[in-house]
Amino acid sequence: MEQKRYLELIGRYLSGDISTKDKDQLMQWVDIADENRQFFEEMNTLWSASDSYEEPTIPVNTASAWASLEQKIDQVEDNRSQGTSIQREAKVRKLYTGRLLRYAAAILLLITGGYWAYKAILQPPVSNFDLAVHSTSTGQQETIVLPDSSIVILNELSTLAYNLPFEERNVQLTGEAFFEVTKQNGKTFTIEAQGTTTTVLGTSFNVRAYPEEEKVEVSVASGKVAVNEQKDEQKKVELIAGQATVYDKSEGILNKTIISNANAWQTKQLVFDNEKLGDVVINFERYFNISFQFSDEQLKDCRYLGSFSNPSLEDVLTALEFTMDLQVDRNNGAYLISGDASQCQ
């Protein structure tokens, strides 16, 4: 029964019909174990992949569908015990749509009102294309060479999926990745991530799109990219090297901006050129997965100049205290920055 509850929460999350309380409960479950997060990321990827299907209108017996789901879960568990189940721990898997998408369909049935059931359960698949899936766990990164020779460096707790053969040059991303896309006779390369589509010809850029975060970020290192909202392609921004965009999921707004050290997780380099301390600590929060607080909001306007190579948290905190005459203390799970703001105006 508990498993069925979380399957339903995943469906509600993906459809956007979930309360704050239920979302918090789901994210707690996701964070409990790497296996939970892995499964959650795969469902996000499969949901994104489903956008290419057309939606029919049919009546659905949801009680019967959930009974079918529970039976499928039992079958998966039986297969796992016999060593023939889907190995979610594998870095690369080829998953037939006729099997796994029918399973995902049942999970999302209550929310989608029959669309998945019709396409993936009641009807046989139109084609058995292969879906290649790469996933990383906590603290793990993976370098992927795609069939077109493009390179993707996948950050921790992320999933990348694409169809084989790789003719359309389209991938689905959940999490964070740095892309080095090769040019191919003017053929575009697209990344679908948490309600956004990034389109390029050949360039390098970083995409951050974790489902539990409220925003999607795209930062360009070289070349030019276009980013649009999937629901409304008129909402679009074009970016060149050094530029970035932030997509607010709840508001559906794309804002052009500049994000420093966007791919620091990959380069292990943090560089700050006279930046506001408020912006600097955001970089530290992302890099070390921690949070900062300020005893005085005016401290955020203090300017910081410095760089770190393969930094440790201790190095960073020591540098802040020594170079800016600040004090950093642990406070209820966060780091509190204190000091005299008038000294750095």
Is the same domain home to 175 and 95?
no
pLDDT more than 90, % of the chain: 46
What's 229's domain CATH number?
A: 2.60.120.1440
Domain boundary among 257, 282, 308: 257
Query: Helix, strand or coil for residue 231?
Result: coil
Q: What is the pLDDT of residue 18?
A: 79
Is residue 112 domain-resident?
yes
Distance, in Å, from the CA atom of 85 to the CA atom of 92, rounded to the nearest integer, reads 15
Indicate if the alpha-carbon torsion angle 136, 139, 145, 148 is positive or negative: positive
**322-341: average pLDDT:** 90
Write out pLDDT tens, residues 98-127: 334 444 544 544 344 333 333 333 344 444
User: Count of residues for the chain?
Assistant: 345
Write out pLDDT tens, residues 197-229: 999 988 999 999 998 889 999 999 999 999 999
Is the same domain home to 103 and 158?
no
Distance, in Å, from the CA atom of 114 to the CA atom of 4, rounded to the nearest integer, reads 18
DSSP structure class, residue 126: S
pTM above 0.75, yes or no: no
Please name which of 251, 256, 319 lies closest in space to residue 283, comparing C-alpha atoms.
319
Indicate if the alpha-carbon torsion angle 302, 306, 307, 313 is positive or negative: negative
DSSP structure class, residue 296: S
Give yes or no for residue 168 having a pLDDT over 80.
yes
How many C-beta neighbours within 10 Å does residue 3 have? Answer: 11
Domain boundary among 131, 153, 173: 131
Domain boundary among 209, 225, 257: 257
Tell me which residue range forms the domain holding 306: 268-344
Q: What is the pLDDT of residue 129?
A: 60
Is the same domain home to 70 and 101?
yes
**297-325: average pLDDT:** 92
Is the same domain home to 294 and 210?
no
DSSP structure class, residue 56: P
Domains identified in the chain, total number: 3
Is the same domain home to 45 and 26?
yes
Distance, in Å, from the CA atom of 162 to the CA atom of 251, rounded to the nearest integer, reads 28
Give yes or no for residue 345 having a pLDDT over 50.
yes
Q: What is the pLDDT of residue 70?
A: 52
Give the burial class of 16: count Cβ atoms within 10 A of its Cβ; 0-12 exposed, 13-18 middle, 19 or more buried: exposed
Share the mean pLDDT of the chain: 78
What's 274's domain CATH number?
A: 3.55.50.30
